[in-house]
Amino acid sequence: METDSPRSPEAEIGHRVEDLWEVAQPQLSPSEKLNFCFEDIPVAAFPRTHPSQVIEIPSDASLADTVETLSKNKILSAPIRNVDAPEDASWIDKYIGIVEFAGVAMWLLHQFDTLANGMTGSAVGSPVANLAARLGSFTFRRTSSGRVETTTDSESDEAASVGGSFFETLTSSEFYKNTKVGDISGSFRWAPFLALQTSDTFLTMLLLLSKYRMKSLPVVDMGGNHIENIITQSSVVHMLAECVGLPWFESWGTKKLSELGLPLMKPYKLVKVNEDQPVLKAFQLMREKGVGGLPVMDTTGTKAIGNISIRDVQYLLTAPKIYKQYRTIAAKDFLTAVRHHLQEQHEPSPLLHDVITCKRDDAIKDIILKLDTEKIHRIYVVDDKGDTEGVITLRDIISKLVHEPRHYFGDFFDGVVPLPANSTV
């Protein structure tokens, strides 16, 4: 394959890694060589998002407007800009966090918790009380373990089970329309505004996007007052896809998933939901288990018929009318309704396609190319019978590219983000 002329800005990064790979000390292991290469490249070299594509959410935007903005721009998250900060404020004062669909989903589930707790502290006439009054056909109870359960008058489930009219009621309420993202940016665990400086290295960036579970990273100049770039897990995997054919990439990319210890999770630990379970069960499990998506399993519980991601909470909030006919919204109903809605809107989406799968003996570069081509964030591992036995995410792939040297971050995280249990800091 001809590699002398980079075909894209991402491929140029690959050639830069190749040059460093060739001069790395021969006694280094392949993993140490990759660390060496990525530690020598500043994040300023990462291909930039066009300035008009750097979406910011003003802190006085309503939650409804925030969901609409994220959905319309097909992004998972965006920085929250403090509208009270002066225009010439530094980025430290200008941004107060990152709003993600994960946080929106937690806010949504919190509304059920509030009602389940008898609206403690919600006075008559308050937004929560008024909303609750309009949802009188639903009852909530708490199990002996403390978990919130939601039931209708005629049926129950171990997870929230609500009719389609619930979401129409919620999204038409003044409570939803008037809740400001800035007012709740300290709640529901919005991601911190953890920014990279242009002088930070690719190694730092790759570790933050993998081991430290950041979905996206704003890039700023020291002393600057605006965001220079936003680097996401997806953009890194796209960069890797553009490096196919380069010797350094092929030495790593041709390894089988099993050789790299993928999938990371044992089959019995795979977080999943059955097709007949309420869709809110899926979002509850994502919240409880800290995952960004899960498979919807058939009635046998062995084969995935679909995938629900945390970003799909947008369809509960931006198009509630599509569920109006459902007394309860099962996971399979959710998938059917959303697919029909997307087809009517002529809107491309991974939800319109069959579940993308792979096997343990596939090469990791083939998985990277599938994820990049299909614009998806996870791929399910199946056995020879087609039974689902694992999942591989963008984060998993990046985590196998580099490793964290001991004491690498020092005080980088002080007061910003919790460290993972196995951190060597």
5 band by pLDDT with thresholds 50, 70 and 90: low
Domain boundaries along the sequence of the chain = 9-102+185-255
CATH number among 3.10.580.10, 3.80.10.10, 3.40.190.10, 3.40.50.2300, domain 9-102+185-255: 3.10.580.10
143 band by pLDDT with thresholds 50, 70 and 90: very low
When mean pLDDT is compared over 55-69, 217-231, 293-307, the highest value belongs to: 293-307
Q: Which residue has the higher pLDDT, 29 or 416?
A: 29
pLDDT computed for residue 418 by the predictor: 44
pLDDT computed for residue 161 by the predictor: 54
pLDDT computed for residue 396 by the predictor: 97
154 band by pLDDT with thresholds 50, 70 and 90: very low
pLDDT higher than 80, residue 163: no
Mean pLDDT of the chain: 82
pLDDT computed for residue 187 by the predictor: 53
70-74, 166-170, 239-243: segment of lowest average pLDDT: 166-170
13-22, 44-53, 296-305: segment of lowest average pLDDT: 44-53
Mean pLDDT of 198-202: 95
pLDDT computed for residue 313 by the predictor: 87
pLDDT computed for residue 211 by the predictor: 93
pLDDT higher than 90, residue 47: yes
Mean pLDDT of 133-138: 39
pLDDT computed for residue 413 by the predictor: 74
106-120, 294-308, 328-342: segment of lowest average pLDDT: 106-120
Cα radius of gyration (the chain):
23
110 band by pLDDT with thresholds 50, 70 and 90: confident
pLDDT higher than 60, residue 27: yes
pLDDT digits 0-9 by tens, 257-270: 999 999 999 999 99
Per-residue three-class SS string for the chain: CCCCCCCCHHHHHHHHHHHHHHHCCCCCCHHHHHHHHHHCCEHHHCCCCCHHHCCCEECCCEHHHHHHHHHHCCCCEEEEECCCCCCCCCHHHHEEEEEEHHHHHHHHHHHHHHHHCCCCCCCCCCHHHHHHHCCCCCEEEECCCCCEEEECCCCCCCCCCCCHHHHHHHHHCHHHHHCECCCCCCCCCCECCCCEECCCEHHHHHHHHCCCCCCEEEEECCCCCCEEEEEEHHHHHHHHHCCCCCHHHHHHHCCECHHHCCCCCCHHHCCCEECCCEHHHHHHHHHHHCCCEEEEECCCCCCEEEEEEHHHHHHHHHCHHHHCCCCCCEHHHHHHHHHHHHHHHCCCCHHHCCCCEECCCCEHHHHHHHHHHHCCCEEEEECCCCCEEEEEEHHHHHHCCCCCCCCCCCCCCCCCCCCCCCCCC
pLDDT computed for residue 185 by the predictor: 61
pLDDT computed for residue 76 by the predictor: 85
User: In the Cβ-directed half-sphere of 155, how many Cα atoms lie within 13 Å?
Assistant: 12
pLDDT higher than 70, residue 179: yes
Mean pLDDT of 224-244: 93
* pLDDT-above-70 percentage for the chain: 79
pLDDT computed for residue 328 by the predictor: 75
